[in-house]
Structure 1
């Protein structure tokens, strides 16, 4: 059976450190802040504004989101434009049309977007659309619905002026797909670009919240499979009165516990973001068999600017941007 190579964690941390040592963020007042320590423990620090997103690719996504937030003051614009960077990243095989396809060789995409007032939109099993997050935004802004799927989502995209992209695999995805077809076997492998959704959540200086989530889903999935990312309450949930959460990992495991909604509700009951993420992982482990092969992670922000993150296994990290700088943080995990 063909398998993608697991990431060597010591090599990855070395690469991250070298990368972040050269990265900078222009802060208000003209101060240039460098990021020398990407590995930190979660704390009781509070930040407003604050942007968090999942995985290494969250760093450039956050850069763009922070830039948009400074320019426009719009959180919803920031979380949309931020993850669009990842949707175009040709080196990322888990988000966008360049991502690994389903078992039929077709890339199908899922995305959702949500504001803290309850406004939300999503698309699932959509083809030939470069920016599914922008299509989800159109569902939220232009229709009475929350979710559009499949051919209906594509027809809506055409009506909204979205160009249809050629249905051709990216070179990297095609190479891996051709190798996979030699056995056509499927087994999830943790901490690889197979289910590394980007989820982004943001808190404004005014205490308002927004979030976005976009993915190409599991590699070599059954045609028609939909994961957690476009499901409001599973892959993403935002409530101005409480906080926001988003998820990454094996979508089926996250759907089974309505993971992001669960975290927000736990915060509503008084849990910190960190405590809520840890409880969600505990419940996910209890509801899923074969947990040794399942990776899932959550990030969360409450309305006061506290944050948290937790995963099933080591290897999950998240990007954090705030007024004092930016960094990439290794999440704690259950195992």
Structure 2
């Protein structure tokens, strides 16, 4: 039973983080041949460029994200070279097998990038309520330590700030989903390209980079939304005017229907500001720049 649990845990780990590092080996070692074997040297002279490409692909396959891809690509390339060693009458065979292996490795890299990005976004989403609860706890605990307390208007402002914060996280996630429907767009960026031309980046490393990119986007949404809330609510940025707080909010009598509508309107206003801040970074940065321009210079 413990072995089954360990096996499931290993599969889950590999699904999230990729297969563990494999024992590196050359193509000649996999074929059971020495590098100076006459047959291999003859094939190197006849199909030098294709054999070098296959060797690079074979090395890259040992670092594939999925273990099944590692095994399938390595076996296919080894089988193709064995066939070429026995019969060199089909010069296109090696090229076809190399092209098929390259496509499999590119698909594996795209899978690694997409899975890493989704994992990072999911981590950011799960982290958001934790940060919200901590922020609420700190906001309630600090004033009594300083000899003060949160009044009714301050509590409403705190709620609006947390609503804006949540909207920033939601907007950032949707922004990533809209922009990066194909995770391979990020794989083709310069820092993520493989060191060898024609080969994708290391998929396991790529998945780690995409996980960081995912939760980083959520954090950016938090800060953009919070910054806009502070600027707008503090009167520094006057391009957007928050709804007025109802006069009877903190009174002894219950809120009127108009008061309820004002509170709800404020909730939607701040959630929309936060959502747009996370969804459209250019819009948020533009508002932040305008807010800085409106600050007095002394």
TM-score (norm 1): 0.21
Name the one with the larger strand percent: 1
TM-score (norm 2): 0.23
Name the one with the larger helix percent: 2
Determine which structure has more spread, i.e. the larger CA radius of gyration.
2
